[in-house]
Structure 1
Amino acid sequence: MTEPLPEFPYHPDPVATGAVVPSDTTCVCCGQARGYLYTGPVYSVDDLADRLCPWCIADGTAAGRYEATFTGGAVGDDVPIEVFVAVAGRTPGFPGWQEPQWYFHCGDGAAFSSAPLRV
């Protein structure tokens, strides 16, 4: 049995978006097989694709150890550095056909969701 997934305020349901999938693979960062693996983009010198668990992303261990980020870019003004760090280094990213960007508004990050837009 796996422990509950960590919470990601800016990516509330990474399983629904496909960024995190069930897996028995051992995380290269913590050395544990926790039942889930991150499958989204990783920007790092090291090849970390499909090798990190969500827990190492959530607590910042993966970002710190590998100087990794999980989003391709960030767009926003007047956003505290702590918010940029949380989004880039402690939030699962998402794939896109072009390099995805994370958006910010009112000094905070936007939450990513796979839910369809309602107009």
Structure 2
Amino acid sequence: MQGGIEELINSMLGGRTLKELSKDCGGTPTIGRISGMALNGIRAFPNLTTVTGLAKGLGVSPETVVQACGVSLGLWMPGSFNAGALQLPLGAEKMTKGQKNAVVGVVREFINSNAA
């Protein structure tokens, strides 16, 4: 579902593999769990450990993960929440998955270099 956990995971990969994302999450969720969520969505809310791990790995707030899960479960409409801190120009919604990953990868590098 658009705006759901699937889109959040796929749009925030930033050029990483699922293995790298799982490592960035602290190992929870596992690669298999992340893959399942990214491809098939979810049927129930993930537990607190999964929510906090995904938030850490994706570089978003736990609230953003919960909001995306709620969209996937049909509890509220996509677009009700802003998953990112940075607004992109109109038309950004038409970028390909690869283009979105490239943008996220560049932003992640800026954040990492500023933290050093």
TM-score (structure 1 length as normaliser): 0.33
Please state which structure has a larger fraction of its residues in helix. Answer: 2
Q: Larger RCO: Structure 1 or Structure 2 (Cα < 8 Å, ≥ 6 residues apart)?
A: 2
Please state which structure has a larger fraction of its residues in strand. Answer: 1
